[in-house]
Amino acid sequence: MSSRDEPKASKRGLGRREFVKLVSGTSAAVSAGVLTNADLLGAQTTTRSKTFGPGVVPMALRVNGHVRQVTLEPRVTLLDALRDSLNLTGAKKVCDRGTCGACTVIVNEKSTYSCTMLAIEAAMSGANIETIEGLAPDGEFHVLSSTFVQHDAQQCGFCTPGFVMAAKAYIDAHPNPTYQQVQRSLGGNLCRCGTYMGVRRAVVDAAMKMKGGKS
């Protein structure tokens, strides 16, 4: 089930309380092995307890089909890792507290607020992360992006990458959505320019064009 079917809180990598706990406690103890890339990508497990941080630690993030090496403090969010370490600036930092959806990426096929997930959490679980940049690997618009343009579904465009990724996750799981279903599914993304009508029309149209395929 897509997280878009669930209450807003469930789309987050962590609940707010768990997130704060992990941020404050990561440097104290995290159950894992030595931070090799293999460990971080889930190839090995161990019951030993090891402390990470507060200084930087090497880790690997699987982003848009590529494993990317980064060295970050455990407190760094996935959003900041993408933007500041990997130069993937499509996901935007607006509220930075899990309310606006501007930072939406897809993690393990689910729409996710990247400001509420730690980079180390994504690394240690070997999460598969998709960003808006991954929709145009050769510089060509994904059908969702081009349909947004056709329906004039953006003004300033600041919220648009988040909407596109949220829509992509939803369409992948629900190939034939109605207008009302799209409206509900995108309820976790806010647009200060008020482009909601165009966005919904674009997503319904894109779903028809994609014919259920994960293009």
Chain residues that interact with ligand FES, rule: CB under 6 A: 93-96, 98-103, 113, 115, 154-159, 191-193, 195
d(CA 172, CA 162) in angstroms, rounded, equals: 15
| Smallest distance, ligand FES to C-beta of residue 183, A | 16
Q: How far is CA 175 from the centre of its chain?
A: 20
| Smallest distance, ligand FES to C-beta of residue 59, A | 21
CB 191 within 8 A of CB 163: yes
d(CA 194, CA 38) in angstroms, rounded, equals: 45
Give the ranges where the chain is alpha helix by DSSP (H): 16-25, 37-40, 78-80, 119-124, 143-150, 160-173, 179-185, 196-210
d(CA 58, CA 204) in angstroms, rounded, equals: 41
| Smallest distance, ligand FES to C-beta of residue 198, A | 9
Is the Cβ of residue 32 or residue 63 nearer to ligand FES in the bound state?
A: 63
Is the Cβ of residue 27 or residue 183 nearer to ligand FES in the bound state?
A: 183
Is the Cβ of residue 158 or residue 215 nearer to ligand FES in the bound state?
A: 158
Alpha-carbon Rg for the chain, nearest whole angstrom, is 17
| Smallest distance, ligand FES to C-beta of residue 157, A | 5
Is the Cβ of residue 99 or residue 125 nearer to ligand FES in the bound state?
A: 99
Is the Cβ of residue 98 or residue 134 nearer to ligand FES in the bound state?
A: 98
| Smallest distance, ligand FES to C-beta of residue 95, A | 4
